[in-house]
Amino acid sequence: MLEVVVIGAGIAGCSTALALWERGAAVTLVEKSRPGAAATGASAGMIVAQYESGGPDEKFRLCLEARTRYPEFAAKLEELSGHQLYLRWDGMLVANLSDEEHEEAAATLRWQRQAGLEAEILEPGAAAKLQPGVGVGAVSYLWFPEEGQLDSQRLAAALGDAIARTGIRLISGNGVAEIVSSGGQVTGVVMADGRTLEAERVVLAAGAWSGTIGGLPRELPVRPVRGQIARFPSKTLALRPIVASHAGRYLVPRADGTVLAGSTMEDVGFDRAITEAGLQVIHESVSQLLPGMARLKPIEHWAGLRPISADSSPIIGPDPELDGLVYATGYGRDGIVLGPLAGAIVAELVLTGASRHDWRPFRADRFAAR
């Protein structure tokens, strides 16, 4: 059996570990805190591919395929973990708040329709039929009927419980300090407590912390970008689709009637604090997108650190110089949607050295050439 150590138990590491275990590898998953406790559990859980995609590039295609395959992954995870994930496909309304945004939306519509996707521009009145209460100030709305979401806090719990029901060995509360190698081949990891774990393959899936681990053969340009989120009690205003803005703010309905509102993008290092300024930004976008919620007070708030790479695309695949080291990181704003597909690709690469998917646009040495 191939011995594999996976570093980090967010969606990146857990998906990879599960895919490796399914295919018969001996997997040890090392987590410095607990599974799902970082960006994965902090996220909004949008399973979106069309929103915020800049054009028909490789990342867009990866997100699209990841979205298409999500139901299969979610069903398997629900069965394995016993948790319901509330995956739903109620679409996404994006407010075009100025003429420029309307033009941008029209351009998005053109290339996405050429790519065979469903998208529509709606007059505010038509948008209000889809979602009563949306702001009156918008010029128009971009409607993506195929976007979806799940409950990401349930997802985080489900990943941990699913791992516990497999033969994967989970070491939590103890991080990896260093990846060790000999003669250009990975031999294992050294833990924070000094213990060594031997392995033929090591998967680096430590989210925003990926670049901080010792023994890496290259500088890994992944940085933490803080996002703050608030949960609102919205029993009065039933929200069905996700409602979002071009500025990256969104309202995401949850099965219990509450609404998650996010999020900020803050370059503040490894600081997960909630701030007044962050909550103010969220509150302003809530008022703009769904004015009926403006007077509501959040019942909960939190922050997480997105692992953002230097070009905002994921870093996937084997290191070209250090044999046995494979990356599954840098998923940025899209880790919940990308995680399961990327995990399946990484597992294929670990086990066979090849994948049916074109992972090369995401290889780790692309930054060296810049």
Piece in contact with ligand FAD (CB under 6 A), picked from 87-95, 103-111, 133-141, 327-335: 327-335
Stretch that binds ligand FAD, among 3-11, 88-96, 283-291, 353-361 (CB under 6 A): 3-11
Nearer to ligand FAD by C-beta: 15 or 131? 15
Size of the site for ligand FAD (CB under 6 A): 43
User: What is each CA distance from 353 to 45, 210, 345, 347, 350, in whole angstroms?
Assistant: 31, 22, 10, 9, 6
The residue type found at 178 is E
Strand partners, 306: 225
Q: Which helix (H) or strand (E) holds 125?
A: helix 124-130
Provide, rounded to whole angstroms, the least separation between the CB of residue 216 and ligand FAD: 11
The three-state secondary structure class of 99 is helix
Q: Would you give the binding string for ligand FAD spanning residues 211-230, x where CB under 6 A is met?
A: --x-------------x-x-
Cβ at position 200, least distance to ligand FAD in Å:
19
Q: How many CA atoms lie within 13 A of 323 on its CB side?
A: 6
Which phi-psi region, left, alpha or beta, contains residue 7 (left: φ > 0; alpha: ψ -120 to 50)? beta
Cα separation, 119 vs 106, whole angstroms: 10
Q: 262: which strand partners?
A: 229, 250
Reading the block at residue 230, the tokens are 């608030």
Please say whether the beta carbons of 305 and 337 come within 8 A: no
Min dist. Cβ of residue 351 to ligand FAD (A): 20
Residues 4-63 binding ligand FAD (CB under 6 A) are 7-13, 30-33, 37-40, 42-46
Binding test (CB under 6 A) with ligand FAD, winner from 51, 209, 327, 362: 209
Residues 90-129 that bind ligand FAD (CB under 6 A): none
Which span (122-130, 202-210, 341-349, 359-367) binds ligand FAD, by CB under 6 A? 202-210
Q: Binding ligand FAD by CB under 6 A: which of 78, 334, 342, 355?
A: 334
* Among the listed residues 41, 354, 49, the one whose alpha carbon sits nearest the alpha carbon of residue 207: 41
Per DSSP, the three-state class of 33 is coil
- 228 to 267: interface string for ligand FAD, x by CB under 6 A: -x--------------------------------xx----
Q: Give the whole-angstrom CA distance, residue 53 versus residue 161.
A: 33
Burial class of residue 128, CB neighbours in 10 A (0-12, 13-18, 19+) = middle
The least distance separating ligand FAD from the CB of residue 192, rounded to whole angstroms, comes to 7
Residues 265-294 that bind ligand FAD (CB under 6 A): none
Binding segment toward ligand FAD, per CB under 6 A, in 107-115, 126-134, 278-286, 332-340: 332-340
Q: Which residues bind ligand FAD (CB under 6 A)?
A: 7-13, 30-33, 37-40, 42-46, 175-176, 205-209, 213, 227, 229, 262-263, 304, 306-307, 329, 331-337
